Structure 1
Amino acid sequence: MVAQMPPKKDQYSSPSQKILNLFSILLFTGRQFSLGQIAEMLECSKQTASRITEELARTRDIQLRVWKEDRQKWFQIESSPRPHVSLSPREIQLLGMCKELVWHLLPKGISEEVESALNKTTALLPNMANRADALDSIYDVSVKGAIDYTPYQDIIETILHAIREKNVCEIIYQSPHRSEPKSHCFAPMKIISYHESLYAEGFSLNNETDQEILHQTTFSIHRINDATILNRKHHFETRENDQKQQAFGFMEGEPFPVLIKFTPQVAHYIKERIWSDHQTIKSYKDGSILLKFMVQSAPELIAWVLSFGKEAKLIKPKALKERVAEELKLTTLLYN
């Protein structure tokens, strides 16, 4: 008569399942266990438990501490010490303020990720009872002429990936000055927010060579029809804004000095703000002021001066003064 092997204590659990169970217990409890305790938890013999711990010890990136004490073998996973980090309700509210400031610019999918990430920060509160207070919305943003970027989420994600991985993209761009879209070879470097719009800033490249920069360029994201990552890398570095002069205007050009006189009705508004590096403001007895500052975009300057109507007069440069006067003549014709 052939002797039968005794049945396994847990005959429905595979060796790999037992290893996973042991790893979970050691990792998430952080406690130390003897070989006998492990055998009891896994419902197996000490011999099987010993083999499982040996397999676990050979696993890469798992630091299993093994020692003998009181004639027993003990096991514990050595975990790296975590820094003691906590957030106050005020700090989370400040993060919420930053979220609200850009909320209208984000596609729905990304805004949901931001909301979820912000909610997770409450786990770092010393007192979990303060969660509701920390997430109270006490900020708001008033937006005029907002763009819904939800249809452009895939394009934004593609550009973000290209920025991180230093990939070159093919951009299909519909310029308002062209009847048909045009393909561009583009190395995106950053996404910029300006006047309730998102822009991709980077370098326009020669399609036939990998690294020949044609010029720096900026694309309005809502005018990009498609963005495809090409099998090409670049090695360009992001320019540091601190190293260049800050001049008035979004579209970059060679800065030039400008003089504008403002009436007392808008003088406070002008004086409260910084319009360019090294600006100067001269005040007059009647309350009017003279602003001298640097400008890098003539079309933006003209539109800005015209937005003040009779409260602003462009003094210099003379050529732009004449262009403003011509625009005013054309505007007057519209109302006659």
Structure 2
Amino acid sequence: MPRKIQVDKDHGQKVIELFFKLFFSPYEYSLTELARELECSKQTIGRIVDKINYSLEGIKIEDFIKNRKRYFKIDKKNVPVKAMNLSQSEYGMLQMCCSFTRHLMGKETFDQAVSALGKSQVLIKDKKTISPKHFASFVPGTIDYSGHQQIIKDLIIAMENQKVCKISYQSVGNINPKNFYLKPLKLFSRDDTIYLHAQMAKDPGKMYKTPKFDPLLAVHRMEDLKITTTSFEYPENFSFEEAFNQTFGVMKEDLFQIRVEFEGYAAMHVKERIWSTDQTIKEIKDGRIELIFTASSYIETLSWILSYGHEAKVIEPDWFVEEIHSELKKMHDLY
């Protein structure tokens, strides 16, 4: 019986999520997108749409075919406009998110966000607001994105309009920047660094060769960006969650599983976090733990384990243990 309640609750949440997504967004969404984002089948999306259309008077989810794909949207022209109030708690959450990302946005974008928050105060029911003085972000060691505000804005425009970009990029190890033609898919942050996940586009006048891995570019290493007139179609089955949030490492290379023992502070720090969705953490003895997880980036995994010093010990695979030995020898020789 408890299981049935949970199922009903999950279905109710999906109904609310789908309605809010369509009602508060000016965009249309494909059946595939909705099924992926709500983590359910396409048949379930159809049933939810039917339920909403049957239950709500004056609001109808339109269902249509475009480019041989099924899309949904709510036409809000005939929907009565009502005052949408913010609660004090909701406004506080916006203040907190704004403060936490201040160092990533740069002064110009941050000032725009603060201005938008100021304007939204009129929507608060009781007119009381939560002060931004309660929140802050730790800045030392972070990247200054002030000089990249226009590039970030142009990337957003290119993604919104699905336009190929020509990007001049200064990668690590190269003396001069290189030019790439890319289909920009997603901007995201990791460890206070903004990245662009993209797909390669054809360089005019050159033979196209499909890369083994999709490009991943650090925005602060972009020296120039031009939006071209060439359009691209957003990949229907692309899921950022599946591409990036399943395994350890922002760089996506060949996957490997690794087993590591931690003790002391490292053990406490590691067991508080999720490193890959398939991870297992086992208590050993004397406060030690064993972590087994999947990684996609050798260099990131190596650096991460070494950052714990003597409190981390790789058990397997053997080839990774040898890499640790080699790196420690280089460090020993350096000192």
TM-score (norm. length: structure 2) = 0.71
Which string of whole-angstrom CA distances, capped at 9 and with x for unpartnered residues, describes residues 237-270 of structure 1?
A: 3722344570001101232110001123421111
Q: Displacement of 1:209 after TM fit? A: 7.8
Deviation digits for residues 188-227 of structure 1 (CA, Å, limit 9, x no counterpart): 1111111111111111122138996733111111111100
Instruction: Please show how residues 322-333 of structure 1 align to structure 2 within 5 Å.
Output: 322-333=322-333
SS at match of 2:210: strand
Calculate the aligned-residue CA RMSD, in Å: 2.1
Per the alignment, residue 152 of structure 2 pairs with: 156
Deviation at 1:163, TM superposition (A): 0.5
1:175-254 correspondence runs (5 A): 175-208=171-204, 214-215=210-211, 216-237=214-235, 239-244=238-243, 246-254=246-254
Mapped contact 1:96–1:118 kept (Cα < 8 A)? yes
Uncovered stretches (5+) of structure 1, i.e. residues with no partner: 1-78
Q: Are positions 1:122 and 2:159 aligned together?
A: no
Distance 1:213 1:164, change over 3 A: farther
Aligned partners of 1:320 and 1:92: how far apart in 2? 48
Equivalent residue for 2:297?
Answer: 297
Amino acid at match of 2:221: R
Correspondence for 1:97 = 96
Instruction: Check 1:80–1:322 CA distance in 2 against 1; reply closer, same or farther (3 A cut).
Output: closer
Q: Which residue of 2 aligns with 1:9?
A: none
The question of 1:142 aligning with 2:138 is answered yes
CA distance in 1 between counterparts of 2:248 and 2:332 reads 27
Aligned to 2:334: 334
Any unmatched runs of 5+ in structure 2?
1-77
* CA positional deviation for 1:143: 3.2
Distance 1:151 1:243, change over 3 A: closer
Deviations 1:80-130, CA, capped at 9 Å, x for gaps: 7322311122210111111112110012221111111111111101233x2
Q: Residues 151 and 309 of structure 1: is their aligned pair in 2 closer, same or farther, counting only changes over 3 Å?
A: same
Q: Is the 8 A contact 2:99 2:132 kept in 1?
A: no
Distance in 2 separating the partners of 1:293 and 1:189: 27
Q: Provide the residue aligned with 1:317 in structure 2.
A: 317
- 2:94 is paired with a residue whose SS is helix
Inter-CA distance 127–321: structure 2 relative to 1 (3 Å threshold):
same
In the alignment, the residues of structure 1 paired with residue 275 and residue 117 of structure 2 have an alpha-carbon distance, to the nearest angstrom, of: 34
Mapped contact 1:174–1:182 kept (Cα < 8 A): yes
Q: Distance in 2 between matches of 1:251 and 1:189?
A: 16
Q: What is the match of residue 25 of structure 1?
A: none
Instruction: Return the letter of the residue paired with 1:114.
Output: A
Following superposition, the deviation at residue 317 of structure 1 comes to 1.2
Q: Which amino acid aligns with 1:97?
A: M
Corresponding residue of 2:84: 85
Q: What amino acid sits opposite 1:333 in the alignment? A: D
Tell me the distance in 2 between the aligned counterparts of 1:86 and 1:210.
54
SS in 2 for 1:107: helix
* Native 8 Å contact 1:203 1:213 kept in 2: no
> Is the 1:252–1:297 contact (alpha carbons within 8 Å) kept by the matching residues of 2?
yes
Percent identical: 31
Q: Measured at CA, do residues 229 and 321 of structure 1 come closer, stay the same or move farther in structure 2, by a change above 3 Å? A: same
- Paired residues for 1:43-62 under 5 Å: none
**Local SS of the residue matching 2:261:** strand
User: C-alpha distance in 2, partners of 1:150/1:291?
Assistant: 39
Highest Rg: 1 or 2? 1
